Amino acid sequence: MAIKADKIWFDGKLVDWDEANVHVLTHTLHYGLGAFEGIRAYKTSDGRSAVFRLKEHTRRLFDSAKILGMEIPFTEEEINNAIIETLKANKLEEGYIRPLVFVGAGAMGVHPGTNPIRVAIATWPWGAYLGDDALLKGIRVKTSTFTRHHVNIMMTKAKACGNYVNSVLAKTEAVADGYDEAVLLDTEGYVAEGSGENIFIVRNGIIKTTPLTSILAGLTRNSVIELARDLGYTVVEERFTRDKLYIAEEAFFTGTAAELTPIREADRRTIGEGQAGPVARKLQEEFFKVVKGENPKYEHWLDYYTI
């Protein structure tokens, strides 16, 4: 649950949290055409704060909007500055950032017509997405009965609002069955991703992750691949089946919210030793050094600000 902050940036200006409202006939509320991002800011070791991969997230937001045929009425630079402005206004040294682009009220019906494109940016404190113990002990996952989107049914390279109905159904099913998260398969039966995370497995010292076919190009995924290769690991992007997940020595999710969360069990089968394995722990350690500004090699991934 989002913890209430003071301000939300809405269509070019900061407004009070409780005043950031829309009409019930807002087009996106009915038809799901919208784009969003999930971004994190971290307090760094030198006392400053930094947004992790801000420019890349904003670039993906604009790419998503373009794919969906939406023209954002601000520049990328304006959105980047607005994100920093909102963090400062809420006095957040670290936290979660949610930019949202949506179709406003006006014409109803499937075609959005000339309805205005609106933009909001909210920020709030947020800890471990899958629970405080998840980063250390790992989580339990269930293969979903819901299939991930086919590339020509939904625009899978867009972080589109409507795409996440699929995620909500999968996550709700998994939680109702006593699991922490869902793993979704693609339309050919190969492992795709989690409800809001990319997935990796480790076998014989080789790290594998699903290729960018029907899945979203996660920025944390990209960061972990680069980080792992720089650490000397072999990382292969190739499809793998559910039974490959079962016999993996390690498995983990990556994502802005999930960060790097180990998987200890899949469909009642223990993965590896049933806890975070050595590869996941090493990558976690190095990832958190990066976001806290402790590795100068990746300084270009950080946009610093001070409250």
Query: What 3-state DSSP class applies to 217?
Result: coil
d(CA 162, CA 30): 10
CA distances from 110 to 64, 80, 113, 162 (A): 19, 31, 9, 13
Residue 225 burial class via C-beta count within 10 angstroms: exposed 0-12, middle 13-18, buried 19 and up:
buried
Angle at 218 between CA 98 and CA 191, to 5 degrees: 125
Query: Do 73 and 102 contact (CB within 8 A), yes or no?
Result: no
**AA identity, residue 248:** A
- Buried b or exposed e, range 91-114, using 16+ CB within 10 angstroms: ebbbbbbbbbbbbbbeeeeeebee
**Where does residue 137 fall: left (phi above 0), alpha (psi -120 to 50 degrees), or beta otherwise?**
alpha
Question: Among all residues, which ones are annotated catalytic?
Answer: 159
Phi, then psi, of 221 in degrees rounded to 5: -55, -50
Alpha carbon 218 to chain centroid distance?
7
